[in-house]
């Protein structure tokens, strides 16, 4: 081999040595030597062979180390819960590393993933529910309209209700009632109900009240004590049950008497033929 070829060979060896990882290790060698042996060591030709082992430090290729996974880490939250109430989702992750051991000297890397995620429910407490107003009810008079027709005035009110707040929700804000003072009522014309040429009295649902027409307006009136309104006579007539007592004389027929209860006329009764009701004894005679 000429000098040039030899130099190229040395360069190649140096390059391989530079890029090949080598590890320190202990090497052993055996050295054989001969000595004269005594009779107890006598072998053929009166010679024996001995070996001496010695160790020394040398370098060689490092062994491959395949990677191994470490233990999984504790769970770590990935951001806040998706909802503050009413049940949301909380995401977590766990990690591990390929360091138990780490791959070395061309060893295989760990197989699988170093991270996995999962989720679970969170903030399952119910959300606060604020109170909610219902719609306004219709306007209703505080007191009865003083006229049946023809236009009058009275106070009106209306109300609304608030649903119950739940789970710490807020109560409704604002007023539950509204009032209108002296607002018009029963403004439709009376027409034929109140004739201009002849004042007319009109019955009320309450027998103690009636309407009296004046100037084409039906005004609310009340009968005097112990009297009720009679539609047939268009006037207030005495109430036979106004005084205390269960049995009262009929106001127009002496053969009849009335059964009264709590001041109200319950039923009309008739005496036997030829007899009349006695107001004092409360019997037919």
**What is the chain written as a DSSP string?**
--HHHHHHHHHHHHHHHHHS-EEEEEEEEEEEEEEE--GGG--GGGEEEEEEEEEEEEEEEPPPB-----PPPPPEE-SS-S-SSS-EEEEEEEE--S-TT--BTTPPPPPS-SEEEEEEEE--SPPPB---BPPPPPPEESS--SEEES-EEEEEEEE--BPPPBTTPPPP-S-SEEEEEEEEE--S--GGGS-TTS--EEE-SSTTEEEEEETTEEEEEEPPTTEEEETTTTEEEE-TTSSS-SEEE-SS-TTEEEEEETTEEEEEEEPPTT--EETTTTEE-
Strands in 176-263 per DSSP E: 177-185, 201-203, 209-214, 217-222, 227-230, 235-238, 247-249, 256-261
Question: What pLDDT does 16 receive?
Answer: 47
pLDDT at 18: 46
pLDDT tens for the chain, 285 residues long, are 566 666 556 655 555 454 446 787 777 777 776 666 655 544 455 556 677 777 777 877 888 999 999 999 999 999 999 999 999 999 999 999 999 999 988 899 999 999 999 999 999 999 999 999 999 999 988 888 999 999 999 999 999 999 999 998 999 999 999 998 888 899 999 888 887 766 688 888 887 888 988 888 999 998 886 677 877 667 887 766 766 567 777 766 778 777 777 666 667 788 888 888 887 788 888
pTM comes to: 0.45
Of the candidates 119, 42, 111, which has an alpha carbon nearest to the alpha carbon of residue 83?
119
CA atoms within 13 A on the CB side of 72: 11
- Domain range annotation of the chain: 240-285
The predicted structure's pLDDT at residue 21:
62
Look at residues 156, 88, 98 and name the one whose alpha carbon lies nearest to residue 125: 88
Spatial contact of 123 and 81, defined as CB atoms under 8 Å apart: yes
pLDDT at residue 12 in the model: 59
């Amino acid at each position: 081999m000429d000098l040039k070829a030899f130099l190229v060979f040395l360069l190649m060896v140096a390059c391989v040595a530079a890029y090949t990882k080598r590890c320190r290790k202990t090497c052993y060698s055996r050295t054989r030597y001969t000595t004269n042996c005594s009779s107890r060591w006598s072998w053929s030709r009166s010679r024996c062979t001995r070996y001496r082992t010695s160790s020394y430090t040398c370098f060689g290729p490092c062994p491959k180390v395949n990677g191994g996974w470490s233990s999984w880490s504790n769970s770590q939250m990935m951001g806040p819960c998706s909802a503050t109430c009413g049940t949301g989702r909380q995401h977590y992750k766990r990690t591990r590393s390929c360091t138990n051991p780490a791959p070395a000297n061309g060893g295989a890397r760990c197989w699988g993933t170093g991270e996995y995620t999962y989720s679970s429910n969170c903030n399952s407490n119910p959300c606060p529910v604020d109170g909610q107003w219902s719609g306004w009810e219709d306007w209703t008079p505080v007191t009865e309209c003083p006229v049946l027709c023809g236009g009058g005035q009275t106070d009106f009110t209306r109300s609304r209700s608030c649903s119950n707040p739940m789970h710490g929700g807020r109560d409704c804000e604002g007023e539950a009632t509204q009032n209108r003072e002296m607002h018009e009522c029963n403004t439709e014309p009376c027409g034929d109900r109140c004739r201009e040429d002849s004042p007319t009295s009109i019955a009320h649902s309450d027998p103690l009240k009636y309407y009296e027409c004046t100037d084409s307006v039906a005004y609310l009136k009340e009968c005097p004590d112990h009297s009720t309104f009679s539609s047939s006579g268009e006037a207030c007539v005495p109430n036979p049950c106004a005084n205390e007592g269960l049995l009262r004389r009929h106001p127009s027929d002496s053969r009849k008497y009335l059964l009264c209860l709590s001041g109200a006329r319950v039923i009309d009764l008739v005496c036997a033929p030829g007899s009349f009701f006695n107001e004092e004894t409360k019997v037919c005679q």
